[in-house]
Structure 1
Amino acid sequence: MNARTTSRQAPSEGGASEVAPSHVGASREAGARDAPPEAAPALPAAGSSFYTAMRLLPPEQREAMYAVYAFCRAVDDVADDGGPREARAAELARWRADVDALYAGTVPPRLVGLAEPVRRFGLAREDFQAVIDGMAMDAQADIVAPDARTLDLYCDRVASAVGRLSVRIFGLAEQPGRDLAHHLGRALQLTNILRDVDEDAARGRLYLPSERLAAIGLAHPTPAAALAHPRLGEVCAALADEAEAHYRAAWRVMAGAPRKATKAPRLMGAAYHLILEGLVRRGWAAPRARVRPGKLRLVGVVLRHGIV
């Protein structure tokens, strides 16, 4: 339910990482977005929580989610590894045009896999375009300390928009589905931001909100300055609290929805919540070891949420 979750490292059994579309760094398959239409779409790594959640879906839903995943991965590759910024902007514009063509009745070769899911599940054009807009935010400039409103917009585009596509495939009713996409998308994305803070800083990016950084004395922070600040933990802890509030809201929505329709998001939410818990236990002082849920805890998540 997160373009940059499904396409980066998702929690996997045994601590392995998924390589695929930030926050969702990961290695990329060169030229994936230019693959011919007959090529197999990018799939999540076996063993990841996303892969497990999708494998538990009925075939039509699973194939639809794989098609959405492949789209998210392709546009994310453009945002992160698409060459000069002008080239990235041009390629994202071509993706926007392809999405428009799909909804106008002309199926572009690289969107063949989405044609049937769009028809069958009523996937909304504006959600695909929102995902591209989110990737454009990363492509046009390295994001450094966005204000809270911009950060929330970014989370909506790269995470909750994917959630809105996903909940239609899962079969949730309109309003509960939109509420779940809103809260779970933000919970996952904020967890990713906290998990990847060092990795993002190495790429010149900092997704921590400017207001919270200003409160600890960083009015014009650089990624390096923020990570070296002795009060960084206050900012991260506050963002972790925000993520926790979104997890709680997402679980309230899922508690009132049919269990069958929420199997996949329950599994994803529970697996990612393990990461947030691990980050809080680890703390925010450097050096910050990578947090990966243990195999037994992930197996417990599958047993608890993967069986209807």
Structure 2
Amino acid sequence: MNHQSSTAPAEHQGVAHGSSFYAAMRILPRAQREAMFQVYSFCRYVDDIADSDGPRDERLAALQQWREDIDALYRGEPPARLRDYQESLREFGLKREDFLAIIDGMEMDVPAEIRAPDEATLDLYCDRVASAVGRLSVRIFGLPEADGIELAHHLGRALQLTNILRDIDEDAGIGRLYLPREGLLRAGITSTDPSVVTQHPALTLVCAPLVERAQAHFKAADAVMNRNLRRVVRAPRIMSKYYHSILQLLIARGFALPRAPVRLGKASRIAILLQYAII
């Protein structure tokens, strides 16, 4: 995206259209919907930089430019591509630190591909690329401060761990391995080469604790949503049910070879939407 170009609401919506969260965002009132499309667009732009195959120094420079643009936005001097974010910042109290955390998270993949991070690094990665997005989102949804932060913590990690478990083979194809080093060693896997780990017969032993952890985060997120107004948690409910369903499909399929790709069918997505879209 050209650094100088302005981004209209319709463009943000277009960027979000292919997202699994699109339906959840579409049901929100206009101001919330537009703010969520902005947050999602921002995430896509910085993610696309991190995931591109361009030179690493150019990707780092592009991410740094986004940091500078966010700083300018919060100084009241937004560049063209962030100009229409000003209203959302004012209306929903979005925090600069959360936007910057997302950039930091995306950048973790840039200097070198992530391979078997230790548990602390994996959790930091999940916090930055998922829970920070959640912290912006819950402000837009209108949750109370403490419940919002708690929901973002748990639902962000639940979604990201599910992503990691779903995308093991896809990530390995681009040289990445997000499974924690401690888990590999406990299972007797000493290699951190993604192509070796994904073919290892003990992979199921590495994935099982992550499945349990994701389940626990989904349960904790549900507890927060259960004590808040239904209309306030409609969108995160849809996101949670969508990804929890994917996790259930992964559990049913298992992690031994051969692993067929797991996707949630259109009928299942529509059923989840209908269950929660109506107040």
Q: The TM-score by the shorter chain falls in which range?
A: over 0.9
Q: Quick one: structure 1 residues 272 and 38, their matched pair in 2 at CA, closer, same or farther if it must change by over 3 Å?
A: closer
TM-superposed CA distance for 1:216, in Å, is 1.4
Corresponding residue of 1:66:
37
Query: If the length of structure 2 is used for normalisation, what is the TM-score?
Result: 0.95
Equivalent position SS for 1:138: coil
RMSD: 1.4
User: CA 1:300 to 1:273, structure 2 compared with 1: closer, same or farther past 3 Å?
Assistant: same
* Structure 2 counterpart of 1:96, from 64, 67, 75: 67
Confirm whether residue 223 of structure 1 aligns to residue 194 of structure 2. yes
Q: 2:179: which partner in 1?
A: 208
Residue 36 of structure 1 is matched in structure 2 by 5
- 1:35 deviates by 6.8
Contact 2:131–2:156, Cα closer than 8 Å, also in 1? yes
Given that 1:49 and 1:267 are in contact with CA atoms closer than 8 Å, whether structure 2 keeps it comes out as no
Matched, 1:54 2:25: yes
Give the letter for the 1:72 counterpart.
Answer: C
Aligned-pair distance for 1:297?
2.3
The structure 1 residue matched to 2:155, chosen from 184, 194, 203, is 184
Matched, 1:133 2:104: yes
Residue 158 of structure 1 aligns with which residue? 129
Q: Distance in 2 between matches of 1:76 and 1:157?
A: 12
Q: Which has the higher contact order (CA 8 A, sep 6+)?
A: 1
Q: d(CA) in 1 for partners of 2:81 and 2:158?
A: 31
Contact 2:126–2:157 (Cα < 8 Å) also in 1: yes
Q: Compared with structure 1, are the counterparts of its residues 129 and 33 closer, same or farther at alpha carbon in structure 2 (3 Å cutoff)?
A: farther
- In 2, Cα distance between the equivalents of 1:186 and 1:98? 27
Moved over 4 A (4+): none
Distance change >3 Å, CA 112–CA 66, structure 1 → 2: same
- Tell me what 1:294 maps to: 265
* Cα distance change on mapping 1:291 and 1:35 into 2, 3 Å: farther
Asked if the contact 2:3–2:80 (Cα under 8 Å) also holds between the matched residues in 1, the reply is no
| CA distance 1:143–1:38, change in 2 (3 Å) | closer
Question: What letter matches 1:199 in structure 2?
Answer: E
Task: Report matched runs for 1:261-272 at 5 Å.
Answer: 261-272=232-243
Name 1:241's counterpart in structure 2.
212
Indicate whether 1:193 and 2:145 are aligned: no
**Matched residue pairs, number?**
276
Alignment-derived partner of residue 283 in structure 1: 254
Q: Is the 8 A contact 1:33 1:74 kept in 2?
A: no
Structure 2 gap ranges (5+): none
Contact 1:213-1:219 at 8 Å conserved across structures: yes
Structure 1 unaligned residues grouped into runs of 5+: 1-31
Q: Look up the equivalent residue of 1:37 and give its one-letter code.
A: S
TM-aligned CA deviation for residue 237 of structure 1: 1.6
Bigger CA drift: 92-101 or 292-301?
292-301
1:252-267 aligned at under 5 Å gives the runs 252-267=223-238
| Partner Cα distance (1:190, 1:220) in 2 | 21
Give, in whole Å, the separation in 1 of the partners of 2:268 and 2:217. Answer: 21
1:30-86 superposed Cα distances (whole Å, 9 cap, x missing partner): xx354721562343226x541110111000000000111111111111111161111
In the other structure, the counterpart of 2:54 is 83
Which of 143, 146, 149 is 2:117 aligned to? 146
- Contact 2:189 2:202 (C-alpha < 8 Å) held by counterparts: no
Superposed displacement of residue 305, structure 1: 1.4
Q: Is the 8 A contact 1:164 1:177 kept in 2?
A: yes
CA distance in 2, matches of 1:33, 1:206: 31
